[in-house]
Amino acid sequence: MRAMPCRSCESARGTRTCFPRPAIPSSLFRQLAVAFILLSSITTPIGCTGFMQTEHRAQFYLNDGYLCEAAAQFLADGLRDGGSIVLITSTPRRDSIASHLLTHGFDLTPLGNSGKATVCDARELLAQFMAEGVPDRGRFTTALSSLLDRCAVAGDQPAHVYGDMVEVLCQDGNPSGAIQVEQLWNELAEARRFSVMCGFALASFPTAAHLAHFEEVCRHHTHVLPTERYVNVINDAHQLREIAILQQRAQTLEAELEQRKALERALRQAIADRDASSRLKDEFLAVVSHELRTPLNAILGWTQIATGQETDASTIRRALGIIQRNATAQLHVVNDLLDVSRIVAGQMPMSADSIDLGETIAAAIETVKPAALAKNVQIDFTIEPDSRLVVGDPARLQQVFWNLFANAIKFTPPRGRVDVRLGRDGLYALITVTDTGEGIDAEFLPHVFERFRQADGGPTRKHGGLGLGLAVVRYLVEAHGGSVAAQSAGESRGATFTVRLPAA
């Protein structure tokens, strides 16, 4: 914000430098109106009497650039009155304040050389009188009196001091220490003539929980100045104090509203998640019913045929084969349900044996070979050297690969191909299962290992199964200290499943 002459402030003493008056946003005006109802009283500053000649200012700010501008204005006023200045801050803020002082016609470097300006680091000065988070009165008085004595030598007018020590303490999580430093400033003011400004970020007091600390800060200052949103809105010190407090109340209301909105969003999301979970469970129950009823109907039907009085031997053999296949299908459904139940309960037993992955994978391929032959799907298995041994449960790992191979065959059309490769990647055995099947839609890919999730989840879907196999795969692989991932270029472009297991 650039300073400029203000015609309304012209007087017999000349033209006064002011800042432009920004418009008050209507939303903030409404919030201030609400906050005004909450404001019960404005107390007299602690340690500040009517005979006190020292100004102790609290300047609240939203933007650090504005604080530096206001601090430079405050220090420049002291220099114009013939006094000296003390700047207690950090290097970045010191440079910014020095830059703003130049716009007022004051160069900090020659001022320091002449003794009209004293600059010191806020943390270094704090280290001189802070002990275990508490300021020592004697050491504070000695340190600050030394600075003020230099100013007295340079001029007979009261010094203007800008200090960041209290804000540093607040930022370090020591608000009580900051208040004690403010009290020591007020005690020092009873014996010395000076004016001091301290900056406070309004963001340091965001909620109602910070209200007590905010009000205590205000009570320890003779002048409380609101943030840059209300520069020169009014010049009455008492009303400026009220505006600063109302600003904090408005900020608190904003924070509470945002918190309520966040809670509302979280509640809506929880309801949506609950509804989605309920819908998935309903779909899953429908699928389970279908998967159990279909083979059961076949078993019952062919049992009646096989037990008929006029059934010949060949028909009975055919019936027994169909009954066996459907009973096996039912057993797989029940086993999947039991496995998921054990996983949820954390009761999936596993051994830790040295395993030849080549043999385990080959056994799983033999298990699914009849299904592959029925669809004329070719399975190729490649083994790289030094990639076979891992430690784990052989039965569970065979279950992992059986699920992956059965899944690949199910989604691969007739005359398709499934490539299985066993290799090594550093400390891990690497197993890839690549098919030329239907692929996985990009939207469904992140959910492919979730329980109860299927790309086509309705009971009229094209492929059977409960959609639990890949969830079991992920659990078993991770239980062995490994990982599993799925990749697909999209629908009709096949899929690749990659399993990584710690090598023995």
Q: What are the residue ranges spanned by the domains of the chain?
A: 46-221, 271-345, 353-502
Among 198-212, 254-268, 487-501, the range of highest mean pLDDT: 487-501
Measured CA to CA in angstroms, residue 279 lies from 207, 346, 453 at distances of: 40, 25, 11
Looking at per-residue pLDDT, the higher value among 386 and 462 belongs to 386
The answer to whether residue 21 scores a pLDDT higher than 60 is no
Measured between alpha carbons, how far is 375 from 378 in angstroms, rounded to an integer? 9
Name the token pair of 386. 């030094």
- Quote the pTM value: 0.46
At residue 421 the predicted structure's pLDDT band, cuts being 50, 70 and 90, is very high
Which whole number is the average pLDDT over 11-27? 42
Q: What is the pLDDT of residues 296-318, one digit of tens each?
A: 888 999 998 888 878 888 989 99
Query: Could you tell me the pLDDT band of residue 89, with boundaries at 50, 70 and 90?
Result: very high
What per-residue confidence (pLDDT) applies to 124? 95
Find out whether 455 and 488 touch, Cβ atoms under 8 Å: no
Nearest to 439 by CA among 421, 458, 415, 456: 456
What does the block give as tokens for 303?
Answer: 């049992």
* pLDDT at residue 91 greater than cutoff 90: no
Q: To 5 degrees, how large is the angle CA 466–CA 468–CA 474?
A: 165
d(CA 487, CA 473): 15
Q: How sure is the predictor about 235, in pLDDT bands with cuts at 50, 70 and 90?
A: low
pLDDT for res 504? 81
Instruction: Select the more confidently predicted residue: 335 or 397.
Output: 397
pLDDT of residue 17: 41
| Predicted confidence (pLDDT) per residue in 474-493, tens digit | 999 999 999 999 999 888 89
Surface-to-core class of residue 501, CB atoms within 10 Å of its CB (0-12 exposed, 13-18 middle, 19+ buried)? buried
- Cα separation, 364 vs 171, whole angstroms: 62
pLDDT over threshold 50, residue 143: yes
Residue 292 CA: distances (Å) to CA of 393, 399, 410, 469: 29, 21, 18, 16
* Better-predicted residue by pLDDT, 62 or 230: 62
Q: Is the pLDDT of residue 37 over 50?
A: no
24-28, 32-36, 49-53, 396-400: which is most confident: 396-400
Q: Report which of 467, 476, 471, 481 is spatially closest to residue 360, judged by C-alpha positions.
A: 476
**Cα gap 419→435, rounded to integer Å:** 6
CA 503 → CA 163, 384, 395, 426, distances in Å?
Answer: 62, 13, 17, 9
pLDDT at 125: 95
Architecture of domain 271-345: Orthogonal Bundle (1.10)
pLDDT, averaged across the chain: 81
For the cut 70, the answer to whether the pLDDT of residue 455 exceeds it is no
CATH topology of domain 46-221: Rossmann fold (3.40.50)
Q: What is the DSSP letter of 400?
A: H
Confidence (pLDDT) at 8: 38
Selection from 214, 232, 227, 141 nearest residue 178 by Cα: 214
d(CA 469, CA 461): 17
Please give the structure tokens belonging to residue 230: 């209300």
Percentage of the residues of the chain whose pLDDT score is greater than 70: 80
Ordered DSSP codes for 235-269: --HHHHHHHHHHHHHHHHHHHHHHHHHHHHHHHHH
Could you tell me the pLDDT band of residue 346, with boundaries at 50, 70 and 90?
confident
pLDDT at 420: 96
Statement: residue 189 has pLDDT above 50:
yes
User: Which of 65-74, 255-264, 311-320 has the lowest average pLDDT?
Assistant: 255-264
What is the band of 465 on the pLDDT scale with cuts at 50, 70, 90? Answer: low
From residue 167, how far is each of 42, 174, 184, 340, 487 by CA, in Å?
23, 9, 15, 56, 53
**What gap in Å lies between CA 271 and CA 293, rounded to an integer?**
33
pLDDT of residue 12: 37
Query: What is the distance between the alpha carbons of residues 372 and 357, in angstroms, rounded to a whole number?
Result: 21
CA-CA-CA-CA torsion sign (470, 471, 474, 477): negative
Taking residues 323-335, report their average pLDDT. Answer: 84
What is the second-level CATH architecture of the domain 353-502?
A: 2-Layer Sandwich (3.30)
Measured torsion, CA atoms of residues 456, 461, 467, 473, in degrees rounded to the nearest 10:
-80
